[in-house]
Each structure stands twice: as structure tokens, then as C-alpha cells.
């Protein structure tokens, strides 16, 4: 994949990553082609992780307190609440 990840949406990068995984699992590939796909998959996974991290930082819950004041609090994701 050309290094134009900054033009990809999270969904596009995730779909490309899924396609690569399917190819690696289902196709007989040369060692070189498999390594190239694996490298691309690692780059895409890192890109997706960065996008998710940035989105998580932007998310906030707006909670109304008893006195009517509005307060921004960081969003707690379900997996964070379980642990």
C-alpha cells in the first residue's frame, strides 16, 4: 500500500486490514508477498490504533450535576469498567 494512510478513514484502513488478514489466511502466497502484506498490516493496525486513541481522547460525557452545572468527564469504555 502506498504511504497515503493519512488520507484513509478508520473504516477504510480497517477494511483493508481485514482483507489482508483474509488473504494471508486463505491464499498461497510467496514468502515475499506474505511479508509485504504482513508489513502493511502492521502499519494499518498502528494507524487504526492511533485513530481510535485520538477519537477516545475527543469523547466526553456531558453530565448534569445535581445543582444543574454541566461538567465534562472522560468517557469510560466498557472494557475499562470491567477491569
| Total domains, the chain | 1
Within 8 A by CB and 6+ apart from 2, the residues are none
**What are the pLDDT digits (tens) for 22-80?**
999 998 999 999 999 999 999 999 999 999 988 877 765 455 566 667 666 666 666 65
Listed in order, strand segments (DSSP E) in 1-83 are 60-64, 70-74
Reported as a pLDDT band with limits 50, 70 and 90, residue 82 is: very low
Task: Give the per-residue pLDDT at 63.
Answer: 57
- Of 39, 42, 47, 38, nearest to 13 (Cα)? 47
Distance CA 2, CA 25 (A): 22
Boundaries of domain holding 57: 5-82
Reported as a pLDDT band with limits 50, 70 and 90, residue 83 is: very low
- Of 24, 19, 53, nearest to 38 (Cα)? 24
Amino acid at each position: 500500500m502506498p504511504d497515503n494512510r493519512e488520507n484513509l478513514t478508520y473504516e477504510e484502513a480497517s477494511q483493508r486490514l481485514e482483507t489482508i488478514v483474509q488473504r494471508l489466511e486463505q491464499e498461497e502466497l510467496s514468502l515475499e508477498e506474505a511479508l509485504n502484506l504482513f508489513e502493511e498490516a502492521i502499519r494499518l493496525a498502528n494507524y487504526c490504533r492511533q485513530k481510535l486513541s485520538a477519537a477516545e481522547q475527543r469523547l466526553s460525557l456531558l453530565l448534569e450535576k445535581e445543582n444543574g452545572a454541566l461538567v465534562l468527564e472522560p468517557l469510560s469504555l466498557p472494557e475499562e469498567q470491567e477491569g
